[in-house]
Amino acid sequence: MAFDFKKLLSVLASPRWWWSWFMIILGCTLLAAGYVLFISPYNIVPGGVYGAGIVLHNLFPNIQVGTFGYMFDSVLLVLAFIAFGPRFGAKTVVAALLTPGLMNIFTKLAYPTEEAMQALDPSQLLGGVIDMSDHLMLTTIVGAVVIGVGVGFVVREQATTGGTDIVAMMIQKYCHISFSQGVLIADSIVVLAGLLVIGFGVGGVEAQGWQLSFYSLIAIYVSSRILAFMLDGASYDRIIFIITSHHNEEFRRYILEEMDRSGTYIKTSGMYTNAEKEMIFLVVPRREMPKVQRAIKEYDPTAFMVVANAYNTYGEGFKPMPEKHELENM
């Protein structure tokens, strides 16, 4: 297949392409800074390959957390390529390899001596300016927010930072477990390793107490909530299923004319009575949900209604469909 030079020039001339790469680099930078400044110095282990790197750094202090990240991500990317083929685009490869490199650079810049860098001594971090040894909850939350924002920037550009995402996908494929459960399993193993090594001192490391594991769990929760906010916004759209025993033209006109929305009629029947019914499928922004509830109460108070969150809604009146090149570069 011939190389399409014109297509390459077209992509390079697109401001959206440059913006996408800028956001990925910014996201990797924030992710690396979050670990180096707020998480790693306090031995908080928020799962993932970098959490595993923090655990291993305590066992082998002459090897930096970012270097362990390189080791894990390089192996995982190769395994992912073998297991899934060329499914992981350039953006994911760059994000997975750029982040640990930035972590090592920031670590060298943040500590004045090699000894301080190996110890990840927070009292010498940036000259002790942001030493939060007495405020572990604060550094956990700040670090988790920064990490969540960084990962959010990367994921919004149809990429991932590798790590436990790849592990979870492989668990899903070979163990027939859902992706979210795979992430939970991978992160749980890392947190448990942190509890054993850092909390209880397994491996000859000075024990720092099991309480650190609670901060690790808080960091995982906060970063996941920030990531969800980055991807879905402050609120989700609402999926509404309305089951009614008769066609209601007034409600139909209200949806079409007053709300300027549309929906879908689905013919159905009751399981118990076998009577024919009509189900209306609607998707509306969260702020418009009260209007639908009031209309149902007014026009069809005996209707049965189910409401659920819609994590992504594409189409007229909502978000535009992703561009083809965005899907291809995922």
Query: What would the pLDDT profile of 68-106 be if each residue is shown by its tens digit?
Result: 999 999 998 888 888 777 666 788 889 999 999 999 999
Q: List the single range of 33-42, 178-187, 200-209 with lowest mean pLDDT.
A: 178-187
The rounded distance, in Å, linking the Cα atoms of 48 and 96 is: 12
Least confident of 34-38, 74-78, 204-208, 261-265: 204-208
Mean pLDDT calculated for residue range 257-271: 88
Tens digit of pLDDT for each residue in 205-245?
A: 888 888 888 999 999 999 888 887 887 665 678 899 999 98
For residue 90, the model assigns a pLDDT of 82
Quickly state the pLDDT bin for 322 (edges 50, 70, 90).
low
Q: Does the pLDDT at position 319 exceed 90?
A: no
In the chain, which ranges are E strands? 237-244, 264-269, 276-284, 304-310
Question: CB atoms < 10 A from the CB of 15, how many?
Answer: 7
Domains and CATH numbers, the chain: 13-232 (no CATH), 237-310 (3.30.70.120)
* Tens-digit pLDDT profile for residues 149-158: 999 898 888 7
Mean predicted lDDT score pLDDT of the chain? 86
pTM above 0.85? no
Structure tokens at 239: 């999926």
Q: Give the separation between CA 274 and CA 287, rounded to whole angstroms.
A: 35
pLDDT at 235: 60
What pLDDT score was predicted for residue 2? 53
Summarize the confidence of residues 58-62 as an average pLDDT: 94
Question: What pLDDT is attached to residue 42?
Answer: 95
Q: For residue range 176-194, what is the model confidence (pLDDT) as tens digits?
A: 776 667 778 888 899 999 9
Mean pLDDT of 279-307: 89
- What are the backbone angles phi and psi of residue 263, rounded to the nearest 5°? -160, -170
The residue length of the chain stands at 330
